[in-house]
Homo-oligomer: A and B are copies of this chain.
Amino acid sequence: KVSIIMGSTSDLPVMEKAAKVLNDFKIPFEINALSAHRTPEQVEKFAKNAKENGIQAIIAGAGMAAHLPGVIAAMTSIPVIGVPIKASLDGMDALLSIAQMPPGIPVATVGINGAMNAGILAAQILAVGDENLQEAVIEFKEGLKEKIVKANEELSTVKYDYKTN
């Protein structure tokens, strides 16, 4: 099971892309709003009980001085995936606040607003010990190629005198 955490519901449009991916992979997941700064006790309770609640990977999104992923990672041994959310400075503040963790407490950081990739990464992590899921991940990656095939079809309709394909 995967847990998706966000600091406020304003992050939902971004973070929902992770939910969609997990749903497509048929991986059970929960979504919660928890704030490292507003509800530190809940964050602690959540992080410390995550393992015995069957959570295997945590996806945490936050913007600005984005402490949530790092704070959760400090309190659990479950892998934490951090999603820097673009709220100011084009998301650069969140990227640095999440990626630049000190030695000892890693956060698996994805790109700015990269919640879809966070979902895929969670699936890849769960797939380490799950052959079926691994198959599904491989299939998913195959599926990405179809978009390119389609893209090429679109491009074949672009017409120029000196275009040769």
Query: Which A residues fall within an 8 A CB radius of B?
Result: 1, 7-9, 12, 16, 19-20, 22-23, 26-40, 42, 44, 51, 56-57, 63-65, 67, 70-71, 73-75, 77-79, 81, 86, 88-93, 95-114, 116-118, 120-121, 124-130, 134, 137-138, 141, 144-145, 147-148, 151-152, 154-155, 158, 160-165
Can you list 24 A-B contacts with CB-CB less than 8 angstroms, sorted by A residue number? A9-B151, A9-B154, A20-B160, A22-B162, A23-B161, A23-B163, A32-B165, A33-B152, A37-B144, A38-B74, A38-B145, A39-B145, A44-B44, A64-B101, A77-B127, A79-B121, A79-B125, A93-B96, A99-B112, A100-B112, A106-B120, A106-B124, A108-B110, A109-B109
B63, B81, B138, B158: which contacts A102 (Cβ < 8 A)?
Answer: B63
Contacts of A163 in B (CB 8 A): 19, 23, 28-31
Whether the Cβ atoms of A103 and B79 lie closer than 8 Å is: no
Bound CA span A90–B56, Å: 34
Contact between chains at B158 and A65 (CB < 8 Å): no
Q: A96-B65, A148-B42, A164-B28 are in contact. Are A101 and B110 (CB under 8 A)?
A: yes
Task: Using A19-B160, A96-B93, A129-B128 as known contacts, say yes or no to A147 and B38 having CB atoms under 8 A apart.
Answer: yes
From B19, B109, B144, contact of A108 by CB (8 A): B109
